[in-house]
Structure 1
């Protein structure tokens, strides 16, 4: 798959799925803009992406969202593909006093920021007849884990947002799809503040929850993202792609 001279904006690309995706797009000839909150990690990813545009930003802040889009357009003059990959967890009981604070934080990053990025990017993607890919989770299909209502709700809403926008933008020749990974070995667990031994145990437990008895690595999801963004998927829009090693099969999809 060649993305020669395509401009790809990868949100949440300082590690994990986003980093792997940015690197693969660059290897296929794309001009890449990478976005994350941690400058040092972004700079490490940038070394593997040729000469990317590096944007240190927090997408929960409207001014940063505006800057991401404006600086990408200023640097490259156009936008072909938007990968909305950023997301946070936030386990909390619905009975907790801080339930709404946690819910608002999760929804701001996992949904509202994606909506705003899409709102600002879509007019430019219409011009290039490009496409948008949102990274969701199998948590959109069923509640996974205790006290996970905020995260699950945000991902279910992201899936339906994808379908609604896909329907609207189809008449402009723009495709919009969503990818729903199961467990993937990334910094996500580490970012929840868990010690190393607990993280290792968490990944081992996650593997037992899948039919294939394994968890994915970021490059697997990146491969699916590149396929979905390519002309090989030119007839696909409004679709959800589950890559979960059979987790939903094992748990019983609902």
Structure 2
């Protein structure tokens, strides 16, 4: 596959799946905008890419989202591919007194930002007949934790938003798809505040919950994203692609 001269925005690009996606796109000739909040991590990823545009931004802020799209088009002259990857999780009981605050924060990051960035990006992507890929989770399809209603709901909403927008934008030649990972070894668990021992215990638990007895590396998800963004997937839109090591087929 080649993405020579294609312009790609990757949110949540400072680590994990987002970083792997940005690096792989760049290695295949794409011009990359890497978006994240952690400046140090962003610059570390940027060193592995070819002349990327680095944008320190918060996808829950409308002015930051406008800046992401406007600066990309101004810098590179167009936009071909949007990868909505930024996301957060909160372990929150519906009985928790902070339940609604956690819900609002997760929904703002995991779904509202995707909606708004798609709204801002779509006119540019229509011009290039590009595509949009949203990074969801198998949590949209299966309840993985009793205290993750905020995350589960946000990802389920993202999946159906994707199908809805795919239906609308198909007439313009624009494809929109979802990638839903299962367990992936990223800093997502670390960001929940767990120490090293707790993180390893969590990944070990995730591994045991898969049919293939393994946890994916971010590069595996990036490979799937690049396939969907390429002409090899020109007949695919409104689809959800699960890469979960068989988590969904484990019998209870």
- The answer to whether TM tops 0.5 is yes
Note the alpha carbon deviations across 1:11-37, whole angstroms, 9 max, x for none: 110000000010000000000000000
* 1:94 lines up with 2:97 in the alignment: no
Q: CA deviation at 1:221?
A: 0.2
* 1:224 lines up with 2:224 in the alignment: yes
Note the alpha carbon deviations across 1:22-58, whole angstroms, 9 max, x for none: 0000000000000000001000000010100000001
* 1:44 lines up with 2:44 in the alignment: yes
Task: Return the TM-score normalized by structure 2.
Answer: 0.99
Q: CA deviation at 1:91?
A: 1.1
- Matched-pair contact (CA < 8 Å) for 1:15–1:41: yes
Distance 1:160 1:207 in 2: 28
- Matched-pair contact (CA < 8 Å) for 1:209–1:251: no
Corresponding residue of 2:55: 55
- Matched-pair contact (CA < 8 Å) for 1:179–1:225: yes
Corresponding residue of 2:8: 8
The ranges of structure 1 where at least 4 consecutive aligned residues each deviate by more than 6 angstroms after the TM superposition are none
Corresponding residue of 2:174: 174
The DSSP-based 3-state class of the residue aligned with 2:23 is: helix
The DSSP-based 3-state class of the residue aligned with 1:9 is: strand
Distance 1:37 1:231 in 2: 31
Q: Structure 1 regions of 5+ residues with no counterpart?
A: none
Corresponding residue of 1:249: 249
Corresponding residue of 1:141: 141
Corresponding residue of 1:164: 164
Note the alpha carbon deviations across 1:119-170, whole angstroms, 9 max, x for none: 0000000000000000000000011112110000000000000000000000
Corresponding residue of 1:238: 238
Q: How many residues are matched?
A: 252
Distance 2:153 2:124 in 1: 29
The DSSP-based 3-state class of the residue aligned with 1:26 is: helix
Corresponding residue of 2:208: 208
Q: CA deviation at 1:251?
A: 4.7
Corresponding residue of 1:73: 73
Distance 2:185 2:146 in 1: 20
- Matched-pair contact (CA < 8 Å) for 1:141–1:156: yes
The DSSP-based 3-state class of the residue aligned with 2:97 is: coil
Distance 1:90 1:107 in 2: 11
Note the alpha carbon deviations across 1:157-215, whole angstroms, 9 max, x for none: 00000000000000000000000000000010000110110000000010000000101
